Amino acid sequence: MRNGKKPRREYEKENNLPKKLMIHPVWKLFGILLLFIIVVRFFFFSDYGQRKTVEKIDKIDQILEKEKKALGIYPEKLNIIIRNNPLRKKITLDYWNNEFFYEQKENGLSYVLISKGKDGILKTDDDIGKAKNLP
């Protein structure tokens, strides 16, 4: 039997066979590659949101430390650190676009900063947080 789409269609017509779905080998390869990428992403990058949130918490911590150094206390509210800076517009949101829980403690000498995690609910297992200078 000859190779190709046209000879295959002639053979199907002559023998009253249903048309067989013919997929070019490049598309098969593309499908396998896509499946591979999805599997790799699932197993190796499933904690990506947590890592990005931890990075953002560290960045906020640095900004809060600068605030304390300049003013002597940590700010009362987290949105104060934005200070009309367009680069900090979304700094108070974690990877999942949940507002960070921030609480000033001991009259501004310490603080608690918590991401509510993927579920967006405080005090669950997926919360990511940092407490600074607590006794």
19-28: per-residue pLDDT in tens?
A: 777 778 898 8
Place of tokens 């407490």: 131
pLDDT of residue 126: 87
Q: What percent of the chain has pLDDT over 70?
A: 96
pLDDT exceeds cutoff 80 at 133: no
Q: pLDDT averaged over the chain?
A: 88
CATH of region 48-132: 3.30.700.10
Model-level pTM?
Answer: 0.67
User: Could you tell me if 124 and 114 are in contact, meaning their C-beta atoms sit under 8 angstroms apart?
Assistant: no
